[in-house]
Amino acid sequence: MKLVVVGFGQCGGRIADEFARLNGRARGLRGLNIVTGAYAVNTDIADLSGLSTIRSDYDHRILIGNKKTGGHGVGKINELGAEIAREDSDKIIETIRNTKHFHETDAFLLIAGAAGGTGSGAISVVTQQIKERYVDKPIYNLIVLPFEHEEATEDRTVYNVATCLKSSYLVADAIFLVDNQRYVSKDSSLRHNLAKINTTITQPFFNLLCAGEEKKSKYIGAKILDAGDIIQTLVGWTTLGYGRSHTSSLKSLFTSSRHFRDKATETQKGVQALDEAISGLSIKCNPLDSKRALYLVSAPAREINVDLIKELGMYIKNMAPEAIIRSGDYPREKGNLDITIMLSEMSDVEKVRNYFTKAINLIAELKKRQEGVVSTQRGIDITINDIPSLL
């Protein structure tokens, strides 16, 4: 599967930069192209200057709203970010359309942090604009939720997240939710934390995107998981995870063991990798709420056997009994057994619901203050429809 990747704001730009690096890795190690174009869009010149892999020309690092912001950002006001994106959307879309390999693109992936100004405001607006131009290509959003300390220090953070999530849900084909707090390492510096989180966010996409683009016959799976499978799986709220366990492939190159213990160990390692992928899902959720699921096994060819695939399939079916499950194998990795899992069409995500509730309470509080009423409790007439849309 090949993506056009567009990052909005500081957070989105850095993750898009990581996708550009991931594409370089796919080209260098496997001779594959999985990102047809990587772009960073921002109202802040300094943020655009801090990227390392996305090309530094103005066609790939796109500054918008310069007249209104002077190149210094929107100060966390996502309504202004949305307004600027609406005004400059033609500039963004025209640049993307001129991508050399655009005709090979299977889907768009737009990325932003939900708590900021530029990314939070722009992502849904540009998603809507692209959707109107390219009706045949799915458009996915990857939205990063803030750290707990960011929520605790400013009401604006909660408001931005809620409006961003609601607006994106109205227009995107699917939304990958990523909770920063799940990946935080308390003993590391902020810079190290963010770099590690960005790598963790993009890692599950590597084998997933490469599998359907593989050209060498010995690396093509018995059951190929390609763009069509991914597109059919992705709907609405989505989470993804990645797990790895080491295999005994080095030993098995020289010996052909048929011992029952070795057979059991192979299956056990697969379940271990799946457990790691599920525990590391990008957002806390209940798998019972998912209506679609997908998993990809990547390991040396001789490590991928029928028993392993059967065991993993039953594991996921028991975990998400109502989900339509798609699967595939990718005999690529050496010495490792990697599993990528995706749960989609989530009917309920507690974290999202909590943001909406907090925002509704906040809006109700503000309305009462404006009306000069002493705040006692939330008015029963306040609903999710009272959360503003940025569209």
Q: Supply the DSSP string of 20-52, one letter for each residue.
A: HHHHHHHHHHHS---EEEEEEEESBHHHHHT-S
Residue that finishes a domain, picked among 179, 202, 225: 202
CA angle 245, 249, 251 (to 5 degrees): 125
Whether 234 and 193 share a structural domain: no
Longest dimension (CA), the chain: 81
CATH classification at residue 243: 3.30.1330.20
Whether 90 and 24 share a structural domain: yes
pTM attached to this predicted model: 0.91
In a domain, 358, yes or no: no
pLDDT at residue number 249 = 47
CA distances (Å), 83 to each of 63, 67, 121, 273, in order? 14, 13, 8, 44
In a domain, 62, yes or no: yes
Whether 99 and 71 share a structural domain: yes
**DSSP strand pairing (324-330 vs 290-298):** parallel
DSSP 146: P
Whether 47 and 182 share a structural domain: yes
In a domain, 381, yes or no: no
pLDDT at residue number 164 = 97
Spatial contact of 282 and 241, defined as CB atoms under 8 Å apart = yes
Residue that finishes a domain, picked among 142, 175, 202: 202
Whether 142 and 251 share a structural domain: no
In a domain, 355, yes or no: no
In a domain, 238, yes or no: yes
In a domain, 207, yes or no: no
Please report where in the chains the tokens 């912001």 appear, as a residue. 69
Whether 190 and 235 share a structural domain: no
pLDDT at residue number 298 = 93
Whether 102 and 7 share a structural domain: yes
Strands across the sheet containing 35-42: 61-63, 35-42, 3-8, 107-113, 139-145, 174-179, 236-246, 336-346, 290-298, 324-330
Q: What burial letters (b/e) apply to 242-257, b meaning 16+ CB within 10 Å?
A: bbbbebbbeeeeeeee
Whether 188 and 135 share a structural domain: yes
Half-sphere CA count of 254, side-chain side, radius 13 A? 2
Number of domains in the chain: 2
Whether 305 and 157 share a structural domain: no
In a domain, 374, yes or no: no
Range of the domain at 83: 3-202
Whether 53 and 193 share a structural domain: yes
pLDDT at residue number 154 = 83
Whether 242 and 165 share a structural domain: no
Whether 26 and 140 share a structural domain: yes
Tens digit of each residue's pLDDT, the chain (391 residues): 999 999 999 999 999 999 999 999 999 999 999 999 999 999 999 999 999 999 999 999 999 999 899 989 898 999 999 999 999 999 999 999 888 888 999 999 999 999 999 999 999 999 999 999 999 999 999 999 999 888 888 889 999 999 999 999 999 999 999 999 988 877 677 778 888 999 999 999 999 999 999 999 999 999 999 999 999 999 999 999 999 988 754 444 344 455 555 555 778 888 999 999 999 999 999 999 999 999 999 999 888 888 898 999 999 999 999 999 999 999 987 888 999 999 999 999 999 999 999 999 988 888 787 776 554 444 334 567 888 899 8
Helix 190-202 with 9-30: angle, nearest 10 deg: 60
> Three-state SS for 233?
helix
CATH classification at residue 39: 3.40.50.1440
In a domain, 382, yes or no: no
Residue 205 CA to residue 210 CA, distance in Å, equals 8
Residue 167 CA to residue 320 CA, distance in Å, equals 28
Residue spans of beta strands (DSSP E) within 114-235: 139-145, 174-179
Residue that finishes a domain, picked among 156, 179, 202: 202
pLDDT at residue number 239 = 97
